[in-house]
């Protein structure tokens, strides 16, 4: 890299190569979350540490060697709509996807009865992180397929499962989620797409959907759309929406893609980021579709897909943040600029390294603390998904489902907000070089920004957390989360080594619980209270969850150092980062607490005409 501090015109090296963070992933899975015991509890004794690590090693190799080289050209070249109306993906995307299918990665967590490997959903998290870091746009072509499989597995008829699931599970075909319409946005009650019953036992779907990720492409032989539409006699609003499976091409007698089905991409959106991903305007013109689930219950069916996708979006934020952190750290270790405040840190050199400057260290530690804490939180949510589906005890399944309901909007919104900050810091560390395309770090910010918007904007996630999950359950779901964190605080209250963490966490938990009760009381009197407080409540809850994560990490690191397990530097770094989070980032929680307790008046008192 360019080491000079002057005005050299030497072209900067393009993009720091992605390196899978296997040591930290293994630390989270094995030392903090005890993955082997988790899978044994689900009756999957074969999923031991050796197996997990072997899968991760192969996934890392695939991500680094096959997928990552497509990232920069995919952003630079982008997708295009050819004269025949087919979306053409960037160079290398089709070839990488073919390897993805041939090597079995697409089928990793798919049901075994339909050709999948049957691994629990939590396996998809670490593997997915590696692939999204390697190329987010490329991974989007398969990302919603996993969510569509879950939806069809739970709600589709056996005939639809038999015809479509094997192709989706193996990755031969891909799936989409067709919800948004131009006039409606997130107000799903305003959907106009029509579904008319025909004489063949199917329905004819007509309408236009926008912002459809991977709505059309050339990486797979067929695209299976899950479309929300209205029956002729459907009631108004969200209670009148049904869900339909609409393939791009109708399967022939052998189950192969056959005749076109009145489904076409009429336009590609030109976007801030994810240029290699096809974001399509999809037109359905008398297309044949088959109902999934019951009439007018489509939104309930779709929520299976949406909630899974929301966790995946949080994972996308984590993955892009990690990519930005790696580039920023490498640059800070190599770039010389100015003198650090402590004097000459690098005698004999014309300037000190960026990493020797306190403010650069602040940015790098902010990246490290948010990313590593979010990785633990996201993987933990994946394991709760496993328990909600597979645990042998019904009471434990319900407990996990309750906890997952609270964690889903936090992972989606808090982690993606974190990722925007972290990728912005990655640009800042690079200075002027971060602002130009040569280093590639501005791409990470552009690609990440969409994660705060799609699959429900982060404001909607905040409303979901506070309105539907916390207040809508009468506080029961909040008590699930509070009980989890409270148990940790109680178990570590007498450990002197945890005095920097457990008491502070317990204090914040108490404030959060009291704030939750206060919001509930105010909401009973003020209709604007929930909406006004929601975002700050989510940010407060997210910081509480990350404080719990870092306290858990600190406990593991302290024990490892005390028992002299080796790798002292690794565990000391964990402990130092935990202290940084508690000292430098956790105080943000108090600001959000103050803001949400201020009520809605300061937001709602200004008349709309006075905003200008």
User: Residue 118 — left, alpha, or beta (φ > 0 → left; ψ -120 to 50 → alpha)?
Assistant: left
Neighbours of 593 (CB within 10 A): 21
Pick from 543, 480, 535: nearest CA to 511 = 543
Beta bridge partners, 152, equal: none
**Looking at the annotation, which residues are catalytic?**
455
CA distance 110 to 153: 10
CA distance 423 to 325: 7
Beta strands in 90-232 (DSSP E): 173-178, 194-197, 203-213, 222-229
Do strands 203-213 and 279-292 pair parallel, antiparallel, or not at all (unpaired)? antiparallel
Angle among Cα 361, 363, 367 to the nearest 5 degrees reads 115
- Helix (H) / strand (E) containing 425: helix 415-430
Query: Residue 532 burial (CB < 10 Å; 0-12/13-18/19+)?
Result: buried
Residue 346 in contact with residue 444, Cβ under 8 Å? no
Q: Indicate the Cα dihedral angle 559, 565, 571, 572, nearest 10°.
A: 90
Dmax (CA) of the chain: 84
Cβ partners under 8 Å of residue 367, min gap 6: 321, 324, 325, 328, 329, 422, 425, 426
Query: Does residue 203 sit in helix, strand or coil?
Result: strand
Neighbours of 348 (CB within 10 A): 5
How many CA atoms within 13 Å lie on the side-chain side of 390? 18
User: Residue 566 — left, alpha, or beta (φ > 0 → left; ψ -120 to 50 → alpha)?
Assistant: left
Alpha helices (runs of H) in 118-277, residue ranges in sequence order = 124-134, 136-155, 158-160, 166-170
Query: Does residue 283 sit in helix, strand or coil?
Result: strand
Query: Residue 184 burial (CB < 10 Å; 0-12/13-18/19+)?
Result: middle
């Amino acid at each position: 890299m360019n080491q000079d501090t002057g005005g050299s015109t030497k072209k900067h090296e393009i993009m720091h190569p992605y390196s899978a963070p296997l040591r930290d992933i293994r630390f989270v899975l094995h030392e903090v979350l005890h993955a082997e015991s988790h899978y044994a509890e689900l009756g999957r004794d074969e999923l031991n540490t050796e197996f997990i690590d072997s899968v991760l090693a192969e996934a890392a190799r695939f991500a680094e060697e096959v997928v990552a080289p497509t990232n920069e050209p995919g952003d630079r070249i982008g997708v295009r709509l050819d004269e025949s109306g087919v979306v053409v993906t960037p160079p290398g995307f089709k070839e990488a996807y073919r390897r993805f299918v041939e090597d079995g990665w697409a089928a990793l967590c798919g049901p075994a009865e339909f050709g999948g490997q049957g691994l629990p959903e939590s396996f998809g998290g670490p593997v997915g992180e590696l692939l999204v870091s390697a190329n987010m746009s490329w991974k989007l072509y398969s990302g919603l397929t996993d969510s569509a499989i879950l939806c069809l597995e739970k709600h589709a008829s056996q005939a639809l499962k038999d015809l479509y699931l094997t192709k989706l599970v193996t990755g031969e075909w891909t799936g989409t989620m067709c919800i948004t319409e131009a006039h409606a946005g997130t107000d799903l009650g305003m959907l106009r797409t029509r579904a008319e019953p025909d004489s063949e036992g199917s329905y004819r779907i007509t309408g236009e959907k926008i912002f459809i990720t991977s709505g059309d492409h050339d990486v797979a032989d067929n695209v299976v759309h899950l479309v929300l539409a209205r029956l002729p006699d459907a009631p108004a609003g969200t209670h009148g929406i049904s869900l339909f499976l609409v393939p791009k091409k109708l399967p022939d007698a052998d189950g192969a893609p056959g005749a076109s089905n009145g489904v076409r991409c009429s336009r590609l959106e030109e976007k801030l980021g994810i240029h290699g991903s096809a974001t399509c305007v999809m037109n359905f013109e008398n297309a044949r579709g088959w109902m999934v689930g019951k009439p007018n219950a489509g939104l309930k069916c779709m929520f299976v897909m949406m909630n899974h996708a929301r966790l995946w979006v949080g994972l996308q934020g984590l993955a892009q943040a990690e990519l930005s952190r790696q580039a920023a750290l490498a640059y800070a270790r190599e770039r010389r600029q100015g003198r650090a405040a402590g004097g000459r840190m690098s005698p004999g050199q014309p300037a000190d390294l960026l990493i020797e400057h306190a403010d650069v260290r602040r940015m790098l530690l902010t990246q490290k603390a948010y990313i590593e804490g979010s990785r633990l939180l996201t993987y933990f949510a994946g394991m709760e998904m496993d328990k909600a589906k597979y645990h042998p005890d019904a009471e434990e399944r319900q407990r996990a489902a309750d906890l997952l309901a609270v964690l889903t909007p936090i992972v989606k919104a808090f982690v993606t907000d974190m990722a925007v900050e972290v990728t912005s810091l990655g640009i800042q560390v690079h200075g002027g070089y971060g602002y130009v395309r040569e280093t590639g770090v501005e791409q990470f910010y552009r690609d990440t920004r969409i994660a705060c918007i799609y699959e429900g904007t982060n404001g909607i996630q905040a409303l979901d957390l506070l309105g539907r999950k916390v207040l809508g359950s009468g506080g029961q779901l909040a008590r699930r989360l509070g009980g989890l964190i409270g148990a940790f605080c109680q178990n570590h209250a007498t450990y002197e080594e945890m005095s920097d963490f457990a008491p502070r966490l317990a204090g914040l938990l108490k404030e959060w619980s009291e704030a939750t009760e206060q919001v509930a009381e105010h909401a009973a009197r003020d209709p604007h209270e929930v909406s006004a407080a929601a975002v700050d409540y989510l940010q407060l809850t997210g910081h509480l969850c990350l404080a719990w994560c870092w306290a858990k990490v600190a406990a593991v690191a302290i024990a490892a150092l005390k028992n002299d397990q080796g790798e002292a530097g690794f565990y000391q770094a964990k402990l130092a980062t935990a202290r940084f989070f508690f000292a430098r980032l956790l105080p943000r929680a108090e600001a959000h607490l103050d803001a949400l307790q201020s009520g809605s008046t300061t937001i709602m008192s200004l008349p709309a005409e006075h905003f200008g």
